[in-house]
Amino acid sequence: MELLAWALDRFGSRFAICTSFQDEGMVIVDMACKLRPGVRVFTLDTGRLPAETAVMIEMVEARYGVRIERVQADPGEVDRMVARHGADLFRDDPSLRKLCCHVRKTRPLQRRLESLEAWAVGLRRDQNEERAQTPKAERIDGRWKLSPLADWTQQQVEEYLLEHKAPRHPLYAAGYGTIGCAPCTRPVAPGEDRRAGRWWWEKDGQKECGIHVRPDGTLARTLDVLLDEIVVR
């Protein structure tokens, strides 16, 4: 709460919350709206989100009186990517899946961040190995990236939501462990890791979309080549 209060006081309208409406994001939205009604909130609308996420957006807007900004990909980049690789390119190869994430999520996020001095996300250190060293605040590319719940546990998140009666994404009730794009996320079985439902057809490698974890050198070079085919520089 203190970190959010600091960001709201220091940056005002140049601070925003980025959320896909998972539990962690809803904790942050709930806290921030109590500190500063009308706080800026945006989501990355990939064009492949489940219908339940649209329902969740309406629930959040009604509950907190905020307008959720839907940040979308460049339609020309999406069209060229789909024309070259197909609509479901993410199934064919991990590098193409990363390309899809980059075009639909990372590049739109980068453009949105240009007008901000700070942003908050719902990362927690115990979510997976890649996030184990997540700092609560870090300065990246000239702006602050805040992870107010970095040291929270899953139990703490669930207890907060219950205590404050915050909205929960409808897909949790259907067995989903995380919320992502419709074709790339499935429910998890009892005992499975919460993130096992993401890109489950990929047996090895980094199960991240790329907005929080940078690709390794080899994949980054491959991604650059793929981007050159569809991005107008």
List residues bridging with 118 in a β-sheet. Answer: 15, 144
Tell me the backbone φ, ψ of residue 99, rounded to 5 degrees: -60, -45
Q: Is 209 designated active site?
A: yes
Q: Report CA 101 to chain centroid distance, whole Å.
A: 11
Per-residue pLDDT at 209 exceeds 70 = no
Burial 181-201 (b: 16+ CB within 10 A, else e): beebbbebeeeeeebbbbbee
Question: Which homologous superfamily does the CATH classification assign to the domain defined by 2-89+104-175?
Answer: HUPs (3.40.50.620)
User: Which residue among 33, 100, 184, 209 is the active-site one?
Assistant: 209
Could you report the per-residue pLDDT of 31-74, keeping only the tens digit for each?
999 999 999 999 999 999 999 999 999 999 999 999 999 999 99
Q: What is the pLDDT of residue 233?
A: 57
Instruction: Tell me the pLDDT band of 207, cut-offs 50, 70 and 90.
Output: low
Domain boundaries, the chain: 2-89+104-175
Angle subtended at Cα 136 by Cα 70 and Cα 182, rounded to the nearest 5 degrees: 35
Could you report the per-residue pLDDT of 112-147, keeping only the tens digit for each?
999 999 999 999 998 777 788 889 999 998 999 999
Per-residue pLDDT at 204 exceeds 80 = no
Q: What is the mean pLDDT of the chain?
A: 91
